[in-house]
Amino acid sequence: MLNSSLKKEAIEKLKSALRKYEVSSEKVKGNAIKLHNVRTYGTDVIKKVEAYINTLANTPKEFAKSIEQVRVNLASFKALSEISYDEKTMIKLAGGGAAAGVAAGVATAALAPTAAMAIATTFGTASTGAAISGLTGAAATNAALAWLGGGALAAGGGGMAGGSALLALAGPVGWGVGAVSLAAGGFLASKKNKDAAIKADKERVEIVKATRVLEATDAEIVHLKESTQKLAIGLEQSLLTFTGTARSIRSYTEFSQDQRDILRAIINNTESMSALFMKEVGK
């Protein structure tokens, strides 16, 4: 038939693009979980630093200011991490159409709670976490999931804080029916050859764009994970070494100048690492 080969080629290219997109999407989700795990380790290290500082008497006021800034930097991550991502609620919200927003397919229904938490903490901003932190229980869960779906936060706005990357992660469900229907059985099969080829090519272009966004975002997530991990490991080692050599000291005034310099460096590195929790991914 006329243009049948054109249609067949266009559909095959579309299928290929969709497969590449799915691979990129899974990589982003996987690395978001790894980033979340590293950040969780980082918060544990920060707690150790804070706990040690609290054992010391006569610490400089600047230490208290730094610790407070660290707490501010971690607020969004903690708020989004401490929510109970109930799977049934996730599936219900994902099926809520407009209520879930344009990105209901951030694969919310398919995400396990751990992955949902990882996506939320990777793409969530300080304002996102701050808005959710004022809520508790089901309200907090619903607000977080609504944010994941791109909907307006009940806690006071926020919307698609993850920008283009979160939208790309929404997948074909968020863009239109073509690619999804094709994968499910062939929406294009009933269309005229030329029309089907044009439709398939348009879908492919959108999928390629989304895949490139995800690839760039994945590289950004990996870099952030590595930077955070390096700082966290180095900070924990510095703290262990320092406390080992100053085990009997309980007042800042008893430290030598070298020891004070090392302790200041530990505090500075703690603040620097916490600042990485504020970094927005996928803007």
Q: How many CB atoms lie within 10 A of CB 62?
A: 10
Name the band, by pLDDT with cuts 50, 70 and 90, for residue 51.
very high
99 pLDDT higher than 50: no
CA 93 to CA 102: how far, in whole Å?
A: 12
Cα distances from 248 to residues 119, 245, 251, in angstroms, run 43, 8, 9
179 pLDDT higher than 80: no
Cα distances from 32 to residues 6, 11, 26, 130, 222, in angstroms, run 39, 31, 10, 21, 8
pLDDT cut 70: percent of the chain above it: 68
Reduced to 3 states (helix: H, G, I; strand: E, B; else coil), residue 102 is coil
Which residues, 6+ apart, have CB-to-CB distance to 227 below 8 Å?
A: 276
- Helices 61-81, 113-123: axis angle to 10 degrees equals 130
- H-state helical runs in the chain: 4-55, 61-81, 87-94, 113-123, 126-133, 137-148, 163-169, 172-175, 178-184, 193-245, 257-276
CA 19 to CA 97: how far, in whole Å?
A: 25
Reduced to 3 states (helix: H, G, I; strand: E, B; else coil), residue 85 is coil
60 pLDDT higher than 50: yes
- Mean pLDDT on 260-270: 97
In 3D space, the residue among 58, 36, 180 whose CA is nearest the CA of residue 113 turns out to be: 36
227 pLDDT higher than 70: yes
In 3D space, the residue among 20, 25, 40 whose CA is nearest the CA of residue 80 turns out to be: 40
pLDDT tens-place string over residues 127-169: 677 777 777 777 777 677 666 655 433 334 444 444 566 667 7
In 3D space, the residue among 240, 226, 243, 180 whose CA is nearest the CA of residue 206 turns out to be: 180
Provide the mean pLDDT of the chain: 78
pTM for the model stands at: 0.82
Predicted local distance difference test score (pLDDT) of residue 136: 73
- Mean pLDDT on 261-274: 96
263 pLDDT higher than 50: yes
The answer to whether the beta carbons of residues 251 and 57 sit under 8 Å apart is: yes
Structure tokens at 137: 């229980």
